[in-house]
Copies of this chain bind each other. A is one copy, B any other.
Amino acid sequence: MPSNPLQTLLTQTPEEGYALAVKLAQKGVGVTQPSEEIRKMLRPVYSRDADSLIAVSQVIATHFQTVAAANNYWRTWTPPYY
């Protein structure tokens, strides 16, 4: 995973924040299995296995929590009754 390093958790929109969460989830796989070749071999298997797909979605959900909090949930209003 020799992609550009993670500079910020700030994004303009929730959509971009979600994309960052996906990247963070992939990065976790990349640090444990650095070989892109092996990761590519695994991909056709887990991407056709419902339980694996759900597990990936869970990792993304956890990272999205972090990114959303970092961005103060992209709020454009002050919540009443805080």
List the interface of chain A (C-beta within 8 A of B). Answer: 5-10, 13-15, 17-18, 22, 24-29, 31-33, 38, 42-43, 45-66, 68-82
Residues of chain B within 8 A (CB-CB) of A51 are 46, 51-52, 55
Please report whether the interface of chain A is mostly helix, strand, loop or mixed according to DSSP: helix
In the bound assembly, the distance between CA atoms of A55 and B57 in angstroms comes to 10
Count the copies: 6
Determine the residue in chain B with the shortest Cβ distance to A50: B46
Question: Which residues of chain B have C-beta atoms less than 8 A from A73's C-beta?
Answer: 9, 66, 69-70
Q: Is the CB of B57 within 8 A of A29?
A: yes
Could you tell me the distance between the alpha carbons of A61 and B17 in the complex, rounded to whole angstroms? 15
CB distance from A37 to the nearest CB of B (A): 11
